[in-house]
Structure 1
């Protein structure tokens, strides 16, 4: 099953439900954030209380983040990521070596819920950057009690140009309108036997052709999920839960860059596939500030 956020047919407000096969069944909760306020055992019980049933083809999926949820990310958690950061860095390559081997992981804020796009929507490349890439990642869905309750797919868009000049520019390279996509839903933690054995695939299409593709596995992670979550919650609270992207091992070689019109597909085994169309600049995604292009999305 997938826990999904969606707009039911004819409805004015989003709903939360469970997708199984070709149907979506509503849950009696107002938001994903409300679900993530529950302890894991109570959340699992809540999924058994159901309401109206819809054909999956008749609902509009939304990103599975809302309310006061945030998206955070971990960096340099795979050997490939360390190598890519060192290659692109102009002045501070040793920073990435140090954080890879350090006790404390790199964790950074990625997005507020209202800036997140979902499956079938768009991501953006910055107009002041020459090289921009998607970063396909397994996302941990964590409740307010610091328990991992599920998994999702994250596209942690990144400006390699900006971060490469100076690691202190990381926020500008990572946090911008159109820089984060999450979806299509949340796979409950109890349905994934081994989260350290999941395939992650990235495919980039341009003009109908595949221009880049690659695959990796979460088995190559340098750090454990419990460790990352523990550090995230050391000095923070997340009353409506949080999505924590766990880092990437798929980075296109320089000088590859995304272009407007590209289609990015990220698949995480047992979790799902997240697709996005690339646009340039913030103007095509200005609607995120109002949600008007999403029927009923009033986050």
Structure 2
């Protein structure tokens, strides 16, 4: 298990630093984890507020607290608290997410809705949906005249869905995935609510946005999906999405600089591998080139005069990946088993690796904003 960051690029990490009994803002420099936390930049939120975060962190002085290899070695599932370990690279930013931004996953959301969360009905419903829709969704610009025409045609066929509404309508789905400081990072357990029997990983690119709505970098995320819970009712979205350890972000935010920009995000390719203790292996691939809405459009739908984020926000942009591969028996589809190792990777952003557990068995979330403020105050950083 390695984070696989490329040699070039400016990467900011958050690390639990036992020397200060709290989190440190760190920079990867020559294979070492350098703590650059200061009164000017006490949090990643503060770093992203800089006009040039990459320039700031490259020139910052700091102390090396461990090597990258040592950090990896101590970050898998239950780390030694006396040694540094990975945290999610975001802190005071809430994690927002956009759903139904790719055609294939859009169809799977329709199937979940029609199946009312029952995976045994998915295969037959998928066949009917494909018969009705075919490739009619391919290339449609959300909110366009063509999209409105298709909506009217589907209404006539009684095939319209609330998921198609946000998939090809003018308004994107934007929801709250996780509260500030609740996401887990590289190597940690990622949690499934024990009520779920049909679920899957959702590999996504995550944008790091500051309080002015400016995108300052990107990372990877797993927007864990409980297909049966959301499928029973869209009103259960919050219960399906926001649970202990159900948001994974990392391994590091790659800051925009001369080597990486929003143009690279637009053409990003993501690979997914799920490896089970039962010997099961599933591979998937996503490409941002197939997203139906531009990343900056999604940012604009989340942020603006209608909604401000004084501490910025992280934005998961949706997934192309919607697994239909049978795992246990024909027609049963895919669902997680405890102990699955999920690896989400991209050549520019590294690899985010987590082990699947029940949310009730993952370490509880016990370090929130109040704890961070007290810790920073004790360190003389406020």
Matched, 1:272 2:282: no
Cα distance in 2 between the residues matched to 1:142 and 1:107: 15
Per the alignment, residue 183 of structure 2 pairs with 116
Which consecutive unaligned segments of at least 5 residues does structure 1 have? 292-296
Deviations 1:216-248 (A, max 9, x none): 211111111111111111222222221100000
For the aligned residues, what is the CA RMSD? Answer: 2.2
1:285 maps to 2:359 = no
Give the structure with the higher percent strand.
1
1:201/1:46 Cα in 2 relative to 1: closer, same or farther (>3 Å)?
Answer: same
What is the TM-score when the length of structure 1 is the normalising length? 0.90
Classify 1:208/1:53 alpha carbon distance in 2 versus 1 (closer, same or farther; 3 Å).
Answer: farther
State the secondary structure of the residue aligned to 1:80. Answer: helix
Deviations 1:180-224 (A, max 9, x none): 110111011223252111111111111273421111211111111
TM-score normalised to the size of structure 2?
Answer: 0.71
- Select between 250-259 and 5-14 the one with higher mean Cα deviation: 5-14
**Which sections of structure 2, spanning at least 5 residues, go unmatched?**
1-9, 72-84, 117-158, 325-331, 369-373, 377-382
Task: After TM superposition, list the pairs within 5 Å mapping 1:1-299 onto structure 2.
Answer: 1-8=10-17, 10-27=19-36, 28=38, 29-39=41-51, 41=52, 43-47=53-57, 48-54=59-65, 55-59=67-71, 60-66=85-91, 68-90=92-114, 94-190=161-257, 191-193=259-261, 194-207=264-277, 209-234=279-304, 235-253=306-324, 255-282=333-360, 284-290=361-367
Q: Structure 1 residue 151: deviation in Å?
A: 0.4
Hey, what's the Cα distance between the residues in 1 that align with 2:363 and 2:110?
34
CA 1:147–1:290: 2 relative to 1, 3 Å: closer
Q: Choose 1 or 2 for highest CA Rg.
A: 2
| Cα distance in 1, alignment partners of residues 301 and 356 from structure 2 | 33
Q: How far off its partner does 1:277 sit? A: 0.7
Contact in 2 for aligned 1:9/1:58 (Cα 8 Å): no
- Mean Cα deviation higher: 201-210 or 247-256: 201-210
Q: In the alignment, which residue of structure 2 is the partner of 1:294?
A: none
Matched residue of 1:140: which SS? strand
Tell me if the contact between 2:209 and 2:314 (Cα under 8 Å) persists in the aligned partners: yes
